[in-house]
A and B are shown apart, each in its own frame.
Chain A
């Protein structure tokens, strides 16, 4: 399974392509592709957003569903989704819970 991620052009914020068609600041509601077709659809959306100067560094990344929650397979992407592990006061992990939802 894969989701689509990028960094927002204006401020570099890590973002994920969400179910509702927006680039969300957390990956909780990311649009999950479970087959090649869905992946291609996401990739096309990513390419369009890149061409449209909304985001940069667009990537499809591998994830697992753990108890229904999206967990990136690679540590790199888990750190991107949370923030620096030595500074839990920064990054997404520091967002108030309701905002992180």
Chain B
């Protein structure tokens, strides 16, 4: 994985020193809150309901054991024993004291981590497919490009005060696991018919109060042009993006109002002027970064098949976990493992200090020291020999993280909502917990099949509800929580925005409503192979509406 060079070390160290000084001056009363707030936000420090919150960047979701152990250490020493992994592949601490933040940042810097650009109107943490470098369906590892973008965008003088925040995602596979079409820029790494690497470029996707699907403005951008083309996009945005209205300031609004074709034309004009300049990436530079991401030496472990076969016979739990949480690796003796942070009735994405440490140990022992954070708020061990799967499973059982529910209805994304977030209108976590308990039976979950349920506590959509097969949005109505249900959203290569099905439900009704939706699907699906999303796309809202609201119409 990427290792800091001297420049990176010095840069992060200097930033820690600078922000520590700013914190000291704030605590001493030498600077006011109005002066301090933009500074703390630039360093990932928010104020939530109960305390400050620190958002730590996990570039493209990749961690090594030492880093994860440090995240556990910070949770124990400075927080309340846990952290929250987010849909942007970051981690948030919910209770740090401002006075402790300099020490936390120093601890992070000691393992090459920081909280820079996790907030503010700049280019944020670049996210990537969490199975990057491991997935069987991948053309190439997208992370070297994410790293190139990270280096280019870090304290970029021209792009540090954009009209609004800016999020880039990269995938290297046809099957989009990074939701690229819901990002300001989405990059799909692929090969052309000459076998050269390049990107399909999507622009203007986003969620929030105005969900938009990214428009493809380039079908094949050669890899050497990555930075000049992204610079061209950002220049057009920086110049024409609206600064008069925060709600219209994202690039998605500009692309929408300008029209994708005209926008693409403006980008091309900028690009033409930049293309042969200093931003052009020399092949040797790309290959040099690529070497940092060289896959571990995967020695043949052919005994895996037999080991897995025997372990399956021995343990039903293992067998179920294998079916649900283990994916095909590009090397036949290996597998990719999803560690579900969605135990039945647990808060999605939360992990305790000791769980983080135990996972770090497992990764060190069995997974070449690599851990990923997925945008679905789970942790991933990307390279595990099939022969070691049982040992990993046993280790996860010990720390209660062996729930076999990846991609099932209890694998819920939920934002912090009103239990923590100062912007929230309604709680999300408790809704997730109640639904998780209702559908606790694995047999039932597996009968339902793939179903992505996503919950946000307000229209900012941090919980990705717009692209949930079933989405739940918390709103406040007459001082009470109300939950709107959307159906048919999807955040993959066929991205769609869910449609509101009808009037919302109170906190005591929402679990039943979700169950009604699911039962309706089970009733109407043509057979078991038709997923919820496929069935919805075939029949539309009508049967769901009918099931949810018919009684009402009659009563009225």
Instruction: List A residues at the B interface (Cβ < 8 Å).
Output: 7, 9-14, 50, 52-53, 56-57, 73-76, 79-80, 83-87, 90-91
Given known contacts A74-B479, A85-B430, is B98 in contact with A10 (CB within 8 Å)? yes
Asked if B265 lies at the interface with its beta carbon under 8 angstroms from chain A, I say no
Given known contacts A75-B481, A85-B427, A90-B80, is B99 in contact with A7 (CB within 8 Å)? no
Asked if B97 and A11 make an inter-chain contact with CB atoms under 8 angstroms apart, the answer reads yes
| A–B pairs, 7, beta carbons within 8 Å | A75-B481, A76-B418, A76-B424, A83-B50, A86-B347, A86-B433, A87-B347
For the complex, give the distance between the alpha carbons of A84 and B427 in Å: 10
Asked if B479 and A86 make an inter-chain contact with CB atoms under 8 angstroms apart, the answer reads no
- What count of chain B residues pass the 8 Å CB interface test? 30
Asked if A86 and B52 make an inter-chain contact with CB atoms under 8 angstroms apart, the answer reads no
A57 contact set on B, CB distance < 8 A: 47, 422
Given known contacts A75-B479, A75-B480, is B97 in contact with A7 (CB within 8 Å)? no
Asked if A11 and B51 make an inter-chain contact with CB atoms under 8 angstroms apart, the answer reads yes
If A9-B26, A13-B50, A83-B50 are given as contacts, then 15 extra A-B residue pairs at C-beta distance below 8 Å, sorted by A number, are A9-B27, A10-B99, A11-B51, A11-B97, A12-B51, A13-B51, A14-B51, A53-B29, A53-B32, A53-B33, A75-B480, A79-B427, A85-B419, A85-B430, A86-B347
A9 contact set on B, CB distance < 8 A: 26-27, 33, 98
For the complex, give the distance between the alpha carbons of A10 and B96 in Å: 10
A11 contact set on B, CB distance < 8 A: 51-52, 97-99
Chain B residue at smallest Cβ distance from A10: B99
For the complex, give the distance between the alpha carbons of A9 and B40 in Å: 13
For the complex, give the distance between the alpha carbons of A11 and B420 in Å: 15
For the complex, give the distance between the alpha carbons of A41 and B47 in Å: 26
Asked if B550 lies at the interface with its beta carbon under 8 angstroms from chain A, I say no
Asked if B429 lies at the interface with its beta carbon under 8 angstroms from chain A, I say yes
Instruction: List B residues at the A interface (Cβ < 8 Å).
Output: 26-27, 29, 32-33, 47-52, 80, 95-99, 347, 418-420, 422, 424, 427, 429-430, 433, 479-481
Asked if B49 and A10 make an inter-chain contact with CB atoms under 8 angstroms apart, the answer reads no
Chain B residue at smallest Cβ distance from A50: B33
| The residue from A10, A14, A53, A86 contacting B50, defined by CB atoms under 8 A apart | A14
B429 contact set on A, CB distance < 8 A: 84-86
Asked if B49 and A80 make an inter-chain contact with CB atoms under 8 angstroms apart, the answer reads yes
For the complex, give the distance between the alpha carbons of A11 and B433 in Å: 29
Asked if B80 and A76 make an inter-chain contact with CB atoms under 8 angstroms apart, the answer reads no
A7 contact set on B, CB distance < 8 A: 47, 51
Asked if A80 and B50 make an inter-chain contact with CB atoms under 8 angstroms apart, the answer reads yes
B419 contact set on A, CB distance < 8 A: 79, 84-87
Chain A residue at smallest Cβ distance from B28: A53
Asked if A86 and B430 make an inter-chain contact with CB atoms under 8 angstroms apart, the answer reads yes
For the complex, give the distance between the alpha carbons of A7 and B52 in Å: 9
Which of B47, B48, B418, B479 is packed against the most chain A CB atoms within 10 Å? B418
Asked if B430 and A14 make an inter-chain contact with CB atoms under 8 angstroms apart, the answer reads no
Which of A11, A13, A52, A57 is packed against the most chain B CB atoms within 10 Å? A11
